[in-house]
Every structure is written in structure tokens, then in C-alpha cells.
Amino acid sequence: MRAGDVRTVVRIETEAFTSPWREDTFSNLIGQVGVEPLVMTHPDEGVIGYAVLWCVLDQGELANIALAPGHRGKGLGGLLLERAMEVAQSRGVRELYLEVRASNARAIALYDRFGFEQVGRRRAYYDDPKEDALVMMRSLGGDASS
């Protein structure tokens, strides 16, 4: 992710989440130690998706991942997730965590396909609407692809 990508990333973020991160949040992530802000681009459309990965020692967190609405349901989320996992593994991450709304069956199915397992639940974690978060984890000790 570069500074010129941030406005498009914020638009995708706003379309994907009810409590979106602000533009300055994304801008401040660029160049931060331990942060891997990634974008997925299309040759004609530019940025169509993004992921934000935190890497601290041997643990990582997939903080955000989203695609523009017109690109969902085409397998691109899996490609973006796979790339994030590869980057995490290259940074020495052995356990990758994420949180997902308990009602987000599509995302949970994607994470399941990539070997993530539920390891916890955060009650009333999300707002608008209030909802639990499932905490999921995947070991990256071996091959990062599924």
C-alpha cells in the first residue's frame, strides 16, 4: 500500500464495514515497523482490495481484509488471504490470528478453507450492530498455502 492507494482503500473499507477505519489510520500504517499494509490491484481498475497485517515477533494478526463489492465471490479474497499469509510467514510469523463477526458466514467459510480454527470468542466486540467476534488462528509453521 502506498499513500496514493489510501483513498480507494478507505472507500472499500467504508463499503465493507459498519465501523470503518479512517483515512489517517491507513495513512499512518504505511512505513510502520511490524505493519504490512497490502493491496490487490486490477490492471484496469487499480486497487480492488486490501489487507492489513500486524507482525510482532512470531505472532501476527490479520487486522483487516476486504474487497470492493464488485470483486467479491470470485475467489479473489482467497488469493489476498493467501498472499497475507505468505507475507506473514516470510516475516517469521508462526501463528496468525484474526477476528471475524460471528454472523459473517462467508468470511468464516473462507478462513476455514485456509485452515483457521476458532480459538476464542469476544463477547459484544463489534458495534453497529453489537455482535460477538470469533477469534481464529492458523499455524504458519509449515507451508502457508492450503
Average pLDDT over the chain, rounded to whole? 94
**Catalytic-role residue among 111, 117, 125, 131:** 111
- Our answer to whether residue 99 is catalytic in this structure is yes
Reported as a single tens digit per residue, the pLDDT across 98-127 is 999 999 999 999 999 999 999 999 999 999
Confidence category of residue 141, pLDDT binned at 50, 70, 90? confident
- Compute the distance between CA of residue 77 and CA of residue 72 in angstroms, rounded to an integer: 7
Domain covering 3-139 assigned CATH 3.40.630.30 in the classification: yes
**Catalytic-role residue among 99, 117, 126, 131:** 99
Arithmetic mean of pLDDT, 48-67:
97
Could you tell me which residues come within 8 angstroms of residue 5 by beta carbon, excluding any fewer than 6 positions away?
39, 47, 50
Q: Is the pLDDT of residue 22 over 50?
A: yes
**Percent of the chain whose pLDDT exceeds 70:** 97
In this prediction, residue 142 carries a pLDDT of: 53
- Structure letter (DSSP) for residue 20: P
